[in-house]
Amino acid sequence: MSVDFRANDPATNREVVLTVPSAESVDNPNLLRRFYREARAAGGLQHPNIIAIYDLGVDRGNPYIASELLVGENLGQIMEREKNAGARSTQSAATMLDYIAQAGRGLGYAHQRGIVHRDVRPGSIFVTSDGTVKLTHFVNARLPDASSPVSDGIMASKIDYTYMSPEQVRGDRLDKSSDIWALGCTLYEILTYTAPFLDENVTATMFAIMSEDPAPISELRPDLPVELDAVVRRALRKVRTERYKNMEQMLADLEPVVRQIQASV
């Protein structure tokens, strides 16, 4: 739907990412509305763990979004590199869990303002060169304004089914508990290099999401505290009301484990 450019903002003399709609999007009202989805969702959020949207406008008939230029790589890329290098270690786990905690703080902030991300996964968690996590890819976010076209159940871009919650598989309305589920899946995957519900095909994966439990992290990573199992189990409850009620509850259980691991390395 769009094309990104590295650009300079002459008013502030800072580098930004300038996003403009593709030719197809400009001529399609529905695609153009979806182009603005990310800016409308993330633009009102000012948090160190959420990508900053600086400007949204139209110049000589051309819509644009100016956002923070991020230098680094996403969590999926980091995980894949460490997996290929055989770099799994307790130190690495402590670092990855810190990234998850930062992402959780950004999500909690968004949830408090009525925004549900709906696409939490390693690819939407960006880690800058200084180790700061930035939540990105708000294109599928649900806004608090029920009258907004971006608040309906239709996704603007394809969702990775690996991180779908049971209610998402059923096609139910999503809320913050679905983001908690997806962050639990991401936490599991970055520690084990295995998605908790990935099966041989989409149908089998969705069946696993609905009816199976993943192997405990402690079985796959005996070097890590067993307390992680309890965090993942609660985040991945099939019934959404049995999960953490909010991201703050999840972080209250996760952050002491992160500190415990950090103290042991």
The pair of structure tokens assigned to 164 is: 């779908």
Please name the amino acid found at residue 224.
Answer: L
Question: Residue 115 in 3-state DSSP?
Answer: coil
CB 113 within 8 A of CB 259: no
The residue among 42, 50, 34, 29 whose CA lies nearest residue 1 is: 34
DSSP 147-213: TSGGGSS--SS---GGG--HHHHHTPPP-HHHHHHHHHHHHHHHHHSS-TT--SSHHHHHHHHHH--
Q: How far is CA 191 from CA 23, 83, 169, 195, 222, in A?
A: 41, 10, 25, 10, 11
Phi and psi angles of residue 2, each rounded to the nearest 5 degrees, phi first:
-150, 170
Burial of 151 from C-beta contacts in 10 A (0-12 / 13-18 / 19+): middle
Is position 175 annotated as part of the catalytic site? no
Residue 19 CB-half CA count within 13 A: 21
Catalytic residue among 55, 59, 98, 119: 119
Q: Which residues are catalytic?
A: 119
